[in-house]
Structure 1
Amino acid sequence: MEWWDRVGRTAAYAAALALTPYVCIKVSWVVGSLLGVMPVGAGFSTAGWVLLNTVTIGMAGSGIAVALALVRPWGLRVPGPPLAFCAWVAVGFLVPLLPYALLASLLVPNEVEAKGGDDPVMPGWEAALVQIGFVGMGLGLLLGLPAYLRRRWPGAFTGRLDGWSLLQRGAALGAGVVGLVWLSWAAGVTVGVAHPGERDINWRVLNGVSGTWALLAAIAAYVLQREGPTRLPRWVPVSALWVGTGSLFAWSGWKLAFTLYLLLARPTDASLPEDLATAAVLHTVAVASGAILARSLVRGTRTGDGP
């Protein structure tokens, strides 16, 4: 067994283990709220609170199953495309949050403590376990997914993009433009921002992290379409493209749904700093760019060294 395979297998087990306490916490919240011994979240009825946490339990359970599928023998018998898609989306959600968690802890260490009111507050040890769970799952998938892909499709990290069509060029350009806009917002530019006063440090950091991953995806796509040798090992741009496209697709897909809701319903108690129409266009471009570039990478692998 090669060293990268050992690291990947260990990371996949660690990912499943890291998220298990989160599932236990959520189960305790559901049971406790049904029995009336634990508070219900502010703004929720008991039924709504139970439904929300039941859904998150299912999502976390699916994440644990995906992590185990990357390392257990039965994972090689699971249909590859659905498993790879689920892992890709999970990586897109979780891995970009790793630098955000670090930056947020450095820049806004006392934000939670500053909040007051009568809302139920999560104990510190629970908050720590939740954060460890998401960080552990993100790191585990970041290492476990490439090892799984190399076991199942040996050419996954040696191929190049399948051609360089106008659609692919447009997707790479779209990812780059979206990344630059998000980075400009993080730097304080107000073009496309409808409510500058609502910007906070979390919003800036999230835009900075998301913009960085979008730019990395665009740069990686350019590197992978070039003919001839490059200075970087092939697995570096491939990994950057996997994570970057996953971030574009997953986060912007979720944000697009929320943005469209705000744009159509116009609720009075919820808003975003950015202009809603501008945000909707950016997230649409991000989702499309992520999907197109990821599909191109998969097709390039299949038509190259992979099966």
Structure 2
Amino acid sequence: MAMRFPKNALVALTVAACLPYLALKLLWLSGGTPGIPRDSPLHTAGSTLWVLNALTVLMDTVVVLLALALARPWGRRLPAPLLALPLWGASGLLGPIALGFPVQALYHALSGAAPQRGSGNGSGALLEDWVWSLVYSGFTVQGLALGTLFALYVRERWGPLLGSRPARPVPLGPAWRAAGAAGCAGALGIGAVRAVEALGLWSADPADHGADSRIVDGCFALFALLAVAGTVRLLRGAGRTRLWVPLAAVWSGSGTLACWGGWLLLGAFSGSGQVLGQRTDGLLNLLHGTQAAAGLLLAAVAAHAVRHRSATPAAAPSGAPPAAERQTRSR
């Protein structure tokens, strides 16, 4: 009972954070225009944006289902991959928002500067200000609540494995070594580009290079670094660090790289990104593709490492030899 109450409260919080967004999207899908200014380019977006809105409704509905699965007994019986893939995607998409949006809000509160709002490919604003605040506040709460539920879930289901301290490296064949090297190189390259943009030294999109964009770039650079550091630590052995630390780093970092890179590519190739003011030239598409590929490669390498770790005996406490070695010494 002690654990059920916080879980139920977190589920209720997640659902409450999803409802305004879902209601707004359903109104738009049915032809309503609340929150859309009269001169917004969204009025002429056509069927492509309708499909994109339907997709985001499905994605937010999945967040509700995931919250229920993480808190209910039947969720413990689900196959791990069935939960892992959508949770990885949700954490990748929501993580940068949960980190970046509060930083942006704090910056505007301290500086008094007006937030940057999208203007699409026309002169009018895409959405009214209250829509941005409502949507991104909801995403932030979703990310924090769902992340807490996930942490409680994995502690209960895989606590011994995640709490272990494996000291030996994961054996990798040539293909896995190549995948890990390519993933790390791509992530470091994307992280360097994002860091340069965050510092204001250069931007792939000079038209979108204000403070809000630079904060977002800084978040992406951080997640890229987490992905690489987590992968390297996971493969080499956690040492004195428990396994969940590098795993959490590569989980969040690779998810952010892959899912946001894929989402931006979807916007570019579907045409919806142009309506929303997204540049879709060759350089940016190359960056987004590299970002998505790096995230997928690092996620695959991390999954391989976790399968190896779960197939071997749990590591002994830090400073103590493994059980087999202790038995050999006693003989």
Name the CA distance, whole Å, in 1 between partners of 2:253 and 2:118.
Answer: 34
1:295 maps to 303
1:44 maps to 45
1:110 maps to 114
- In structure 2, do the counterparts of structure 1 residues 84 and 275 end up closer, same or farther at CA, with 3 Å as the change threshold? same
DSSP-derived class of the 1:188 partner: coil
- In structure 2, do the counterparts of structure 1 residues 155 and 92 end up closer, same or farther at CA, with 3 Å as the change threshold? farther
What's the Cα RMSD here?
A: 3.8
1:188 maps to 200
Residues 153-197 of structure 1 deviation map (CA, whole Å, 9 limit, x = unaligned): 33452355743552354033432332223212222333xx55545
1:166 maps to 177
1:255 maps to 264
CA contact (8 A) 2:180 2:298 kept: no
- In structure 2, do the counterparts of structure 1 residues 163 and 99 end up closer, same or farther at CA, with 3 Å as the change threshold? same
Question: Structure 1 residues 233-242 or 88-97, which shifts more?
Answer: 233-242
Residue 217 of structure 1 deviates from its aligned partner by 1.6
DSSP-derived class of the 1:95 partner: helix
Residue 87 of structure 1 deviates from its aligned partner by 0.7
Alignment TM-score, normalising by the size of structure 2: 0.72
Letter in 1 for 2:261: S
Unaligned 5+ segments in structure 1 are: none
DSSP-derived class of the 1:271 partner: coil
CA contact (8 A) 1:255 1:283 kept: no
1:140 maps to 145
CA contact (8 A) 1:93 1:246 kept: yes
Question: Structure 1 residues 221-230 or 234-243, which shifts more?
Answer: 221-230
DSSP-derived class of the 1:178 partner: helix
Name the CA distance, whole Å, in 2 between partners of 1:201 and 1:279.
Answer: 21
1:33 aligns with 2:37: no
DSSP-derived class of the 1:244 partner: helix
How many pairs align? 294
1:63 maps to 63
CA contact (8 A) 1:248 1:290 kept: no
Name the CA distance, whole Å, in 1 between partners of 2:9 and 2:71.
Answer: 8
Name the CA distance, whole Å, in 1 between partners of 2:244 and 2:124.
Answer: 50
2:227 maps to 217
- In structure 2, do the counterparts of structure 1 residues 198 and 24 end up closer, same or farther at CA, with 3 Å as the change threshold? closer
Name the CA distance, whole Å, in 2 between partners of 1:257 and 1:158.
Answer: 38
Name the CA distance, whole Å, in 2 between partners of 1:194 and 1:110.
Answer: 23
Residue 238 of structure 1 deviates from its aligned partner by 2.1
Residue 290 of structure 1 deviates from its aligned partner by 3.3
Give the percent of matched residue pairs that are identical in Structure 1 and Structure 2.
Answer: 26
1:202 aligns with 2:212: yes
- In structure 2, do the counterparts of structure 1 residues 13 and 187 end up closer, same or farther at CA, with 3 Å as the change threshold? same
Name the CA distance, whole Å, in 1 between partners of 2:285 and 2:138.
Answer: 35
- In structure 2, do the counterparts of structure 1 residues 10 and 156 end up closer, same or farther at CA, with 3 Å as the change threshold? farther
Name the CA distance, whole Å, in 2 between partners of 1:113 and 1:280.
Answer: 22
Residues 271-307 of structure 1 deviation map (CA, whole Å, 9 limit, x = unaligned): 258933641553254233333333234323432468x
1:17 aligns with 2:27: no
CA contact (8 A) 2:29 2:50 kept: yes
2:93 maps to 93
Unaligned 5+ segments in structure 2 are: 315-331
- In structure 2, do the counterparts of structure 1 residues 15 and 227 end up closer, same or farther at CA, with 3 Å as the change threshold? same
Name the CA distance, whole Å, in 1 between partners of 2:286 and 2:117.
Answer: 33
Question: Structure 1 residues 195-204 or 58-67, which shifts more?
Answer: 195-204
DSSP-derived class of the 1:141 partner: helix
Name the CA distance, whole Å, in 2 between partners of 1:280 and 1:49.
Answer: 20
Alignment TM-score, normalising by the size of structure 1: 0.77
- Radius of gyration: which is bigger? 2
Residue 13 of structure 1 deviates from its aligned partner by 4.1
DSSP-derived class of the 2:43 partner: coil
Residues 37-88 of structure 1 deviation map (CA, whole Å, 9 limit, x = unaligned): x97933234x566544333222211111111111112212333212211011
Residue 130 of structure 1 deviates from its aligned partner by 2.2
